[in-house]
């Protein structure tokens, strides 16, 4: 089920001048359910969930269970009640559907480290209440604070962006993308000067990678003719000879985006630049329902062209341009810095002080957050367990069978058709969006047949397939960490594991005092890890045995699904922690300035000493693959699951 908040700026592709005309219709049709890629941070997970498995976003109403008076009037938005395909959504309310969802208890999240009393608050009442700044490999927090373009004599004149008409751009785009049978497009040069011809040549070559140009005389008139340089491969590989040898092949820039995940943003940029998305690189993907700032690199696209997109697109801003020799690589980041607003808090100043001091000094349990496990009645870890068990019929059934929970109408119809006919082609016809995981599996079953589910499942992108087994590992890890803390508390004990470099070693009796709980790690199950030398080791074995898995043989006959395992710290202490409580009257006013606000010279908000509501503003930095929601859970002492939140607040928004 997909809903859009009323305050969202629909049609974020805004054409402000002729030179910004882009493939808006194509972009509008872009599906949020397209295959996803690994995420870092919070929502910012190291593996995100595909299509219908992803967590719907809502204002997350956090409560200690004592105060349930978060009225729907406090919320910024109301649900639309329509789907992208124009179908009416089921009348059943989201809160009703989420009765079938997961709670923290279901995925092993049961313990807290602090002793303070919890209180209520609303997270992400506005997406602008959650801001993520990437921390780069140099340890610097990424900010958008410079929109200037590096001066480069090799760049063409600014006229290249306006010399072509909308109709000419349309014809050239169709030629570039092989959308018609034409082999060339001829553009008449009205004011025939060498300068004018040069600008048209430059415009076509720079705006439409893969096209070459030549000048022709036809009946006494000059035409510039565009044609394909090197077939369909040219689109993915920008022409080498058009890039100055003196500058690095990659333009690095800071991308500021609102309410869009990283892949959505890159798809929009690539459509506007008329290039393939795979020429972009980044260190990690960021949450959708947030304002995020991160570094991106793109192959052989000039800063001049990138900066021009600032005139065309809303909810995006590009800046801090530089040319570098190398692209960015996933995982190179050092973490993320979060600025989080929890609105309408009920805690006293004393409670807030205790909670934040505990977060700063002790930290929080490094659980995998709820978004790791999906939101419907079929958690992703169940699919992962079936893959590890080699139970392929169960894998197919878990992904395709009808399920309770929040889903789009067409997915519900697809599942019903599958249950009735077991005909993959018939079920596939019910899906307007074929790139969701269900569509990909059905396409695989149509191609390979029902007796070759392994190959059919293999059509799903590798990251999404591995997400299921990583979800199972996370499920085991959460449960084992809860048991470790229950049995041994918040101090290291003999038999615990710590890392020396990348190698795990045991804490011996005589060394216990040399370590703190912040040094202790626990393994995600796999064939290349060791387990603690105390009773938690047996708990791992019992849990996997119950799931019909052999802890001593985590290799799978399909190599992709062999789990090597990994180590994860059990307690994370955030860095750069600061906080403040502010009073406000209007739930819709922003409570701090963004990078774009600062660039535009907006004064910071001024707060009254008293107001109708109170908000907690928190700042903290986390390493990659840790969850900000788990830090917030520790502060508020509440269940972060959507199921719990929707029981506390009946209005649900994305």
Show which residues are catalytic: 287
Closest CA to 630 of 97, 104, 36: 104
Distance between CA 582 and CA 299 in Å, rounded?
44
Closest CA to 343 of 54, 7, 649, 596: 649
User: Checking DSSP bridges between strand 566-569 and strand 520-524, what pairing results, if any?
Assistant: antiparallel
User: Checking DSSP bridges between strand 497-500 and strand 211-218, what pairing results, if any?
Assistant: unpaired
Distance between CA 143 and CA 41 in Å, rounded?
17
User: Checking DSSP bridges between strand 613-622 and strand 575-584, what pairing results, if any?
Assistant: antiparallel
User: Who's near 323: CB < 8 A, 6+ residues apart?
Assistant: 150, 247, 248, 250, 251, 252, 303
Most distant CA pair in the chain, distance: 95
What's the chain's length in residues? 654
Count of other CB atoms within 10 angstroms of residue 420: 11
356 three-class SS: helix
User: Who's near 440: CB < 8 A, 6+ residues apart?
Assistant: 35, 434, 459, 460, 461
Sole residue written with tokens 């997970």: 45
Helix (H) or strand (E) holding 441: helix 437-448
101 three-class SS: coil
Distance between CA 212 and CA 501 in Å, rounded?
53
Helix (H) or strand (E) holding 5: none
Helix (H) or strand (E) holding 421: helix 409-421
Residue 12: alpha-carbon gap to chain centroid? 18
Residues 629-647 as b/e (b if ≥16 CB within 10 A, e otherwise) read bbbbbbbbbbbbbbbbbbb
Q: By the 8 A CB rule, do 395 and 458 touch? A: no
Counts for the chain of helices (H) and strands (E), in that order: 19, 19
86, 230, 421 from 426: Cα distances, Å: 21, 39, 8
Sole residue written with tokens 């005092």: 513
Helix (H) or strand (E) holding 90: none
Backbone angles phi, psi at 341, to 5 degrees: -110, 120
Residue 510: alpha-carbon gap to chain centroid? 44
User: Checking DSSP bridges between strand 280-282 and strand 211-218, what pairing results, if any?
Assistant: unpaired
- Partners of residue 250 on adjacent β-strands: 299, 324
Backbone angles phi, psi at 17, to 5 degrees: -155, 170
Sole residue written with tokens 């947030």: 290
Determine the Cα angle at 88 with ends 439 and 31, to 5°.
40
Q: Sign of torsion, CA 75 77 82 84? A: negative
Q: By the 8 A CB rule, do 642 and 97 touch? A: no
């Amino acid at each position: 089920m997909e809903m859009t908040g009323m305050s969202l700026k629909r049609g974020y592709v805004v054409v402000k001048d002729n030179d910004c005309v882009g493939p808006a219709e194509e972009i509008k049709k872009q599906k949020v359910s397209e295959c996803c890629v690994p995420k870092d941070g919070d929502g910012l997970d190291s593996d995100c969930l595909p299509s219908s498995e992803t967590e719907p976003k809502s204002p997350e109403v956090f409560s200690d269970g004592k105060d349930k008076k978060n009225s729907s009037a406090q919320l910024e938005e109301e649900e639309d009640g329509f789907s992208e395909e124009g179908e009416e959504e089921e009348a059943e309310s989201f809160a009703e559907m989420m009765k079938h969802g997961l709670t923290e208890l279901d995925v092993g999240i049961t313990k807290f480290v602090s002793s303070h009393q919890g209180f209520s608050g609303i997270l992400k009442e506005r997406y602008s209440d959650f801001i993520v700044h990437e921390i780069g490999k140099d340890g610097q927090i990424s900010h958008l604070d410079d929109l200037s373009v590096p001066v480069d004599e090799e760049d063409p004149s600014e006229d290249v962006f306006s010399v072509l008409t909308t109709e000419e751009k349309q014809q050239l785009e169709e030629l570039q993308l092989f959308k018609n049978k034409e082999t060339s497009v001829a553009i008449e040069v009205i004011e025939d000067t060498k300068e004018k011809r040069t600008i048209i040549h430059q415009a076509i070559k720079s705006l439409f990678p893969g096209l070459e140009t030549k000048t022709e005389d036809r009946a006494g008139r000059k035409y510039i003719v565009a044609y394909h340089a090197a077939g369909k491969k040219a689109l993915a590989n920008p022409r080498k000879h058009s890039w100055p040898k003196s500058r690095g092949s990659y333009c690095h820039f800071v991308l500021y985006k609102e309410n869009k995940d990283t892949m959505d943003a890159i798809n929009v940029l690539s459509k506007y630049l008329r290039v393939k998305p795979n020429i972009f690189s980044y260190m990690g993907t960021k949450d959708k329902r947030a304002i995020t700032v991160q570094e991106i690199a793109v192959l052989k696209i000039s800063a001049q062209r990138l900066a021009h997109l600032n005139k065309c697109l809303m909810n995006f801003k590009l800046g801090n341009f530089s040319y570098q020799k190398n692209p960015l690589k996933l995982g190179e980041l050092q973490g993320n810095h979060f600025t989080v607003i929890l609105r309408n808090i009920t805690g006293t100043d004393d409670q807030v002080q205790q909670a934040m001091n505990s977060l700063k000094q002790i930290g929080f349990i490094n659980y995998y957050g709820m978004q790791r496990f999906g939101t419907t009645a079929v958690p992703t870890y169940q699919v992962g367990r079936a893959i590890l068990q080699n139970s392929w019929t169960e894998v197919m059934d878990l992904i395709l069978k009808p399920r309770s929970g929040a889903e789009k109408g067409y997915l519900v119809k697809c599942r019903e058709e599958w249950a009735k006919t077991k005909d993959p082609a018939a079920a596939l016809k019910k899906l307007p969006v074929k790139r969701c995981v269900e569509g990909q599996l059905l396409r695989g079953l149509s191609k390979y047949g029902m007796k070759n589910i392994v190959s059919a499942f293999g059509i799903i992108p590798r990251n999404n397939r591995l997400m299921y087994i990583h979800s199972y590992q996370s499920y085991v890890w959460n449960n084992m960490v809860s048991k470790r803390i229950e049995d041994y508390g918040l101090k290291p004990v003999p038999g615990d594991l710590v890392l020396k470099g990348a190698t795990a070693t045991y804490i011996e009796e005589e060394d216990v005092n040399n370590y703190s709980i912040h040094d202790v790690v626990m393994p995600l199950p796999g064939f290349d890890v060791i387990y603690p030398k105390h009773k938690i080791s047996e708990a791992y074995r019992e849990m996997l045995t119950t799931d019909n898995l052999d802890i001593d043989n985590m290799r799978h006959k399909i190599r992709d699904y062999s789990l090597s395992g990994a180590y994860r710290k059990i307690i994370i202490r955030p860095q750069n922690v600061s906080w403040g409580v502010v009073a406000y009257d209007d739930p819709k006013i922003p409570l701090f300035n963004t990078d774009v606000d600062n660039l535009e010279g907006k004064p910071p908000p001024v707060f009254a000493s008293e107001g109708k509501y109170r908000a907690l503003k928190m700042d903290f930095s986390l390493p990659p693959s840790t969850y900000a929601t788990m830090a917030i859970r520790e502060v508020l002492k509440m269940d972060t699951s959507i199921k719990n939140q929707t029981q506390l607040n009946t209005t649900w928004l994305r």
